[in-house]
Amino acid sequence: MTETAHRGDDRPLATPHTPPLTEQLVAQLAAGEAALASGRYREAATLLEPVAAALPDQVPVARMVATAWQLAGQRSRARAALATLDAQNLERLSPNDAHALGAQLLDVGAPDAALHCFDLVARTLPNHPSVLGAQAGAHRAMGNLDQAWRLAQRATSADKHNPALWLTAAQVRHSQGQLEDSLKLLKKAETLRPAHSPTRMQRALTRLLGGATAHGWSDFEHRGLPAIPAGSKAWRGEPLAGSSIVVVFEQGIGDLFHFVRYVPLLTERGAARVIVEAPESAVSLLQASGLDAVPVGQAPTTDYAVPVLSLPLLLGADRETGSDRVPYLRTDMELTPRVASARRRLGLVLRGNPNFLATNLRDIGNEWVSAIEGIRDVDWVWMQLGEETPSESFEAPALSVNWLETASLLSSIDGIVTVDTGLAHLAGALGLPTWVLLPYSPDWRWGLRSNRTPWYPTATLIRQPSPGDWGGAIAALGAALSSPPNISPSNTLA
């Protein structure tokens, strides 16, 4: 049995504030630690959660639970595990422990709580460069970009030889939309720490935010690549004549819908069979779209394998976005022609995957529903899976986790208004009218300023005019929706 928790804090679990450890808790703690060490992350989290509940003042145990959930791919549950920590317990932490906890909170998408930890450290070390850099990172994640930049400047001035601080400063400038400045700062970080993957990945995001380029795609290979299936060779762009190849799923469903546009090019390169891995919920949609799709992990052995997000680099796409192939996803339903009308029937999605890192910046709370309801000549269709409709005026159809059924529902209405989610990519890939509500610092694929995107010709981008300003974005949405409805003539009865 271990008497200490080994995730960032080696102090004994027993303190004057801790109830006596029962034999059951001791055994469960040991089993949880063993499961965590052996990579059984979900099992570890399940074992450790009751221990954390019984020992609410033990930060190390809560951190172990959060670590287990995060490694299991459940960032939202990791956030929840750390949200139970009492403020008084945080006050008792040493500066090192508070800093480590803050870093973990930032990594699970809880920047407000992370900043509180870093501020506690700053009481003891008010001008320490690493503390200033950590505070800058938290403010950036909260959308407080001016304050983040002031802190980043102080940090790099205090320690000009710390590459991590230059990386933080570059990330802040990226979020501010100062891409050239960000690249200059990344060059300083790279000089101090060559071949550092997180620095290269940030350079990829900054380059791609300015537009798709070969250099951006090359740096994008530092994202952390998925495992290539056993028995297959990693494809690096060589001729495919007569070969079979599997496209390996990675990251999120929106990434798959975005990048699957490149899959037909593998056939054009001579591949005899191209198989696409997908979550089971998306397999029928890809099959209806003419792709040879199988659930993740169920592809037969092929000659080659390639991660789906590596396709633009290895196919030499450079600035080619494949917009001429839209729509490249489709349903197998026969559409009922719609009568042209002055009113639109639009889907609405205000929140996305809770395991996304920056949910605090991407998601829109229900407090904005009344402003959205006020937009004229729109009948809203609530498409927030798993949530009750926030207004009686909204239509509430039965929603499905199956993406083909979701695509069929989308195809039966006049378009969708959504935050940056898989539904935005699905609607865009189907060639449907789509309005994407974006935070001030958007994901790289949406660019910086235009209300259009080369990725999806039928999408309109609605941006926050300043950090956190959803009111301004919703006003811009209302203006965008005041133009005549764009209903496909092939599906309209005059």
Q: Is the pLDDT of residue 14 over 60?
A: no
Confidence of residue 280 (pLDDT cuts 50, 70, 90): very high
Q: Specify whether the CB–CB gap between 229 and 248 falls below 8 A.
A: yes
Residues 109 and 248 both lie in one domain: no
Q: Is the pLDDT of residue 483 over 80?
A: no
The percent of residues in the chain predicted with pLDDT above 90, rounded, is: 86
Cα dist. 87→83, 91, 113, 116 in Å? 10, 6, 10, 9
Evaluate the CA torsion angle 462, 466, 469, 475 in order and state its sign: negative
Compute how many other C-beta atoms are within 10 angstroms of the C-beta atom of residue 338: 16
Residues 60 and 5 both lie in one domain: yes
Instruction: Judge whether 299 lies within some domain.
Output: yes
Q: Is the pLDDT of residue 2 over 60?
A: no
Confidence of residue 488 (pLDDT cuts 50, 70, 90): very low
Comparing C-alpha atoms, which of 47, 453, 72 is closest to residue 258? 453
Decide which of 270 and 335 is more confident: 270
Residues 470 and 346 both lie in one domain: yes
pLDDT in tens, 20-40: 678 889 999 999 999 999 999
Structure tokens at 148: 């983040």
Comparing C-alpha atoms, which of 234, 411, 245 is closest to residue 330? 411
Comparing C-alpha atoms, which of 257, 167, 278, 262 is closest to residue 217? 262
Residues 379 and 478 both lie in one domain: yes
Give the whole-angstrom CA distance, residue 367 versus residue 374: 13
pLDDT at 278: 98
Pick the range with the lowest mean pLDDT from 85-94, 258-267, 417-426, 443-452.
Answer: 85-94
Pick the range with the lowest mean pLDDT from 9-18, 131-140, 231-240, 375-384.
Answer: 9-18
pLDDT at 19: 61
Tokens 């865009």, residue located: 428
**Residues with Cβ < 8 Å from 142, sequence gap 6 or more?**
111, 112, 115, 360
Instruction: Judge whether 316 lies within some domain.
Output: yes
**Final residue of a structural domain among 91, 126, 161:** 126
Number of domains in the chain: 3
Residues 371 and 253 both lie in one domain: no
**Final residue of a structural domain among 285, 320, 355:** 320
Instruction: Judge whether 225 lies within some domain.
Output: no
Q: What is the residue type of 149?
A: W
Q: Is the pLDDT of residue 491 over 80?
A: no
Q: Is the pLDDT of residue 267 over 90?
A: yes
Which residues share a beta bridge with 294? 277
Give the whole-angstrom CA distance, residue 92 versus residue 207: 43
Give the whole-angstrom CA distance, residue 220 versus residue 310: 8
pLDDT at 339: 59
pLDDT at 84: 86
Which residues share a beta bridge with 277? 294
Residues 302 and 366 both lie in one domain: no
pLDDT in tens, 430-446: 999 999 999 999 999 99
> Could you give the dihedral angle defined by the CA atoms of residues 164, 100, 105 and 465, in that order, rounded to the nearest 10 degrees?
-30
Q: Specify whether the CB–CB gap between 59 and 90 falls below 8 A.
A: yes
Q: Could you check whether the bond before residue 327 is cis, i.e. omega within 30 degrees of 0?
A: yes
Decide which of 280 and 12 is more confident: 280
Evaluate the CA torsion angle 228, 234, 235, 240 in order and state its sign: negative
Evaluate the CA torsion angle 142, 146, 151, 156 in order and state its sign: positive
Q: Where are the alpha helices (DSSP H) in 210-322?
A: 214-220, 253-259, 264-268, 280-288, 311-314
Confidence of residue 415 (pLDDT cuts 50, 70, 90): very high
Pick the range with the lowest mean pLDDT from 3-17, 158-172, 320-334.
Answer: 3-17
pLDDT at 484: 61
**Residues with Cβ < 8 Å from 431, sequence gap 6 or more?**
326, 327, 457, 458
pLDDT at 10: 41
Instruction: Judge whether 197 lies within some domain.
Output: no
**Final residue of a structural domain among 320, 347, 381:** 320
Mean pLDDT for all residues in the chain: 92
Instruction: Judge whether 212 lies within some domain.
Output: no
Residues 349 and 480 both lie in one domain: yes
Q: What's the domain range around 249?
A: 233-320
pLDDT at 88: 81
The percent of residues in the chain predicted with pLDDT above 70, rounded, is: 92
CATH number of the domain bearing residue 86: 1.25.40.10
Residues 412 and 474 both lie in one domain: yes
Q: Three-class SS of residue 243?
A: coil
pLDDT in tens, 153-170: 999 999 999 999 999 999
Residues 415 and 446 both lie in one domain: yes
Instruction: Judge whether 167 lies within some domain.
Output: no
Confidence of residue 17 (pLDDT cuts 50, 70, 90): low
Residues 482 and 388 both lie in one domain: yes
Q: Is the pLDDT of residue 489 over 70?
A: no
pLDDT at 89: 82
Q: Is the pLDDT of residue 494 over 80?
A: no
For residue 45, the Cα-to-chain-centroid distance in whole angstroms is: 22
For residue 26, the Cα-to-chain-centroid distance in whole angstroms is: 37
Give the whole-angstrom CA distance, residue 118 versus residue 122: 6
Tokens 């970009």, residue located: 145
For residue 146, the Cα-to-chain-centroid distance in whole angstroms is: 23
Instruction: Judge whether 217 lies within some domain.
Output: no
Give the whole-angstrom CA distance, residue 98 versus residue 421: 33
Instruction: Judge whether 376 lies within some domain.
Output: yes
pLDDT at 334: 63
Residues 34 and 104 both lie in one domain: yes
- Which helix (H) or strand (E) segment holds residue 461: the answer is strand 459-463
Residues 358 and 270 both lie in one domain: no
